[in-house]
Every structure is written in C-alpha cells, then in structure tokens.
Amino acid sequence: MRETPLSNCERIFLLKAIEEKKRLDGRQTYDYRNIKITFGTDYGCCTVSLGKTRVLAQVSCELVPPKDSRPTEGIMFFNLELSPMASPAFQPNRQSELLVTLNRQLERCLRNSKCIDTESLCVVSGEKVWQIRVDVHVLNHDGNLMDAASIAAISALCHFRRPDVAIQGRDITIFSPEERDPVPLSIYHMPICVSFAFFQQGTYLLVDPCEKEELVMDGLLVIAMNKHREICSVQSSGGIMLLKDQVLRCSKIASVKVSEISELINKALENDKRVRKEGGRFGFAESIPKERITALKSKEALVEVTGIQEMAEEIANKGEAPSEVVPSPIIVAAGTGHVGEGLQNTWGLEEEDEGEEWQGVTDENEEKKKKDKMIVISDSEEEEVVVLNPEALKSKGKRPKH
C-alpha cells in the first residue's frame, strides 16, 4: 500500500496541534467521531459510518462438514477486503501488510474471544454444521478502520438470522423464511475494538485517530473489550514501548467507550426489530433522511447600468466604417477554374509536347529550377552519353553529333 505522504509543513502543524491538545475536526482528546449504524433489508447486512470512514459487513451461512478436531462445533470465518474504492492507496488483489493485520485483529476480537456459541451451530455431530462467514468491505477510508470493522462485524452478527432446520433420521430439511422464522445466533457478549494513537514516543495520546493523524503517529494500541470490562485482546504496533500505567489508563478509557458503543448497537437493533414488526419500511434506502436539497446561493453583484447607451455609441463611433463596395476575391492559380461575376470562365491548364506543365504562374523559384535542370540525351545503339546545358542547345540550334 502506497500512502500519500504528508508535507513537512502538514506534519509540523499536526504535531504542534496535538501538543496543544487540539485536533483538526475540533474533537477533544478522548472523543469519538459520530457513529451511525444502519441495517439493510436482508438479515446480517450492516453499514457503520465512523466520521467519513464507512464499512459494510455482510454475514452469510451454509452447511459444511465440521473439522475433524471439533466435530460438534460450527465454523467462524472472517474476511476483510480493502478495495481501491475506499482509497487510492489500496491495490486490488494484493495482500498488503495492513490487510493482514486487520484480518488477524478481527479474528482475535471475535473468534478467539468466544463471543458466539459455536456448539449451537452443530446440526449433525461429525456430519453437518453451520459455517458463519463475515465479509467486511471498506467503503471509504478516513482512519481507524479496526474500530469501524469490529463494530460493523458484531452488529451484523447480532442482526443475522440463520434458516431453521429439521432432522428426520438421516435427512436434513432447511426451511425458508416464509415457512419458519429464521433463528438468531447465540451471542454471549459483544467485543468492540478501541484504538489509541501515541505521539512523541508516548507523550501524547489520542482516541479514534483520523487518516492524517495515523500518518504522523509513532505507535498504535488496540484494545478489544466488552461492556462487562473484560479484555478480549490487546494489540500494539509501531514498535513503541508503553508503560504499565499507560496501558491501564487506556483500558479505563476503553471501558467507557465500549459501554457507549454497546448501547448504541442495542438501540439500533431494537429500532430495526420494531420497524420490521410493525411492517414499516426498512433498509438502507429508508435510513437516508428525507431532507430538502439546498443549493449554495451567492449574493447578486450590483451592476452599474447608467450611461450604457452613451458608452456604446462612443465605442461605435471610434470604429472604422466598412467600405461600401467589397471587391470580389480573384484567385489566380495554375489549374484553377476562374468562375465568378465579371470574370471570364477559363481554365489555366495547357499542354506541351514533352509533358504537362502548369502555365500562368511566374515564380522566380520555378524559373531558377528550370534553368538548373539538365537535359540527358542518350542513344540506345551507343554507350556514350552526352550531357548538355539547355542554354547551349538554344545557342547551337542543332542536335549534337556523336
């Protein structure tokens, strides 16, 4: 991934602002950007907006054979993609270092924390289990992708419903949503990632860094925690050494942020459930606020209109009056038909005995070329060739003898 580097002036300005506890968007040190959670028409589709950072999560499921080591447990699979649509720095079909890091952190946050009861995903022990796949797509990158991806993934998992199944002997019947209501997943807790950016070797700390703040930071600390203040994972990157007091301080801040985000997720799930139960409209299209489109109006500039007629007459008088009689253009060129009013219709093409030459054009360059032209006289019976100048031929007036 090739990020656009910052200039020295931008880097110095950002670091100076961070020292004065000021941020580009006017936030305080521990403030998050505005978080917006919306759900799609299908179950398990969720979009999270963290400021200008936007992430889409989609959950799907299918029946697959279980792993040999765990025949009674379902399978959880996470996939995060960075497309050039999100940022020009992302290259398609390439495993960048950032992509690998985000995938590993997402798996540690959700799969290794055992937030989902995988044993409830078993249909037939050793034969069929549910495989839950979570695809996370970054729609727009403006910093702090890990927090947005974790919020979108856990919200989509809470919103997802798998089809109901029935077992009769060795036969497995999968019911459609019209036949039986889908079954939600069994989720124990909701782990959420909170990112902390460090500057000046850990002297300054920021929560939820934007893209430009990430370019000048010295290190990043990501803490995954649930609302019960249980730490699920801790990941540090950037090669910065942190003290124990700094980590404890970050964990206290993360506990407050996680409880606020968890309440926001629960509120969004309740609103979506209520709208679906009432039979109202739901989905991404309905979540867009119906607001009037306002255009940017500029003030009308006052134009001085007095004295316009006098000024126009003065400009017209200064100009030269056109001549009453406009002569017709006469084109005289070799090989050109003269057709026009008051002219004789003739063609200036003449033929000569030795070849076709154009007459009517008296150019000094053409006469000079004709004078310099040499006449070569050859005889088929003899090998000797005599080259004479045209002027010599005119003076003699007879054909030379060999």
**Who contacts 230 (Cβ-Cβ below 8 Å, separation ≥6)?**
189
In angstroms, rounded to a whole number, what is the distance separating the alpha carbons of residues 348 and 332? 9
Q: What's the pLDDT at 303? A: 47
Please indicate, yes or no, if residue 390 is contained in any of the structural domains: no
Please indicate, yes or no, if residue 197 is contained in any of the structural domains: yes
Q: What's the pLDDT at 94? A: 75
CB of 132 within 8 A of CB of 121?
yes
Q: What's the pLDDT at 58? A: 95
Query: In this structure, what CATH number is given to the domain that contains residue 207?
Result: 3.30.230.70
Write the pLDDT tens digit of every residue in 286-319.
666 544 333 444 444 444 556 667 777 777 777 6
Please indicate, yes or no, if residue 130 is contained in any of the structural domains: yes
Please indicate, yes or no, if residue 233 is contained in any of the structural domains: yes
In angstroms, rounded to a whole number, what is the distance separating the alpha carbons of residues 247 and 244? 5
Q: What's the pLDDT at 325? A: 57
Q: What's the pLDDT at 206? A: 92
Please indicate, yes or no, if residue 160 is contained in any of the structural domains: yes
How would you write the chain as a 3-class SS string?
Answer: CCCCCCCHHHHHHHHHHHHCCCCCCCCCCCCCCCEEEEECCCCCEEEEEECCEEEEEEEEEEEECCCCCCCCCCEEEEEEEECCCCCCCCCCCCCCHHHHHHHHHHHHHHCCCCCECHHHHEEECCCEEEEEEEEEEEEECCCCHHHHHHHHHHHHHHHCEECCEEEECCEEEECCCCCCCCEECCECCCCEEEEEEEECCCCEEEECCCHHHHHHCCEEEEEEECCCCCEEEEEEECCCCCCHHHHHHHHHHHHHHHHHHHHHHHHHHHHHHHHHHHCCCCCHHHHCCCCCCCCCCCCCCCCCCCCHHHHHHHHHHHCCCCCCCCCCCCCCCCCCECCCCCCCCCECCCECCCCECCCCCCCHHHHHHHHHCCEEECCCCCCCCEEECHHHHHHHCCCCCC
Q: What's the pLDDT at 341? A: 53
Please indicate, yes or no, if residue 253 is contained in any of the structural domains: yes
Q: How many domains does the chain have?
A: 1
Please indicate, yes or no, if residue 251 is contained in any of the structural domains: yes
Please indicate, yes or no, if residue 188 is contained in any of the structural domains: yes
Tens digit of each residue's pLDDT, the chain (402 residues): 445 678 899 899 999 998 888 888 888 889 999 999 999 888 999 999 999 999 999 999 999 999 989 999 999 999 998 988 888 888 877 778 888 999 999 999 998 888 999 999 999 988 899 999 999 999 999 989 999 999 999 999 999 999 999 888 778 888 988 888 899 999 999 999 999 999 888 888 999 999 999 989 888 999 999 999 999 999 888 778 888 898 999 999 999 999 999 999 999 999 988 888 887 777 766 666 544 333 444 444 444 556 667 777 777 777 666 555 555 555 444 555 555 555 555 554 444 444 444 444 445 555 555 555 444 444 444 445 555 555 555 555 555 544
In angstroms, rounded to a whole number, what is the distance separating the alpha carbons of residues 204 and 14? 12
Domain residues for the domain of 106 are 8-287
CA dihedral (282, 47, 43, 119) positive or negative: negative
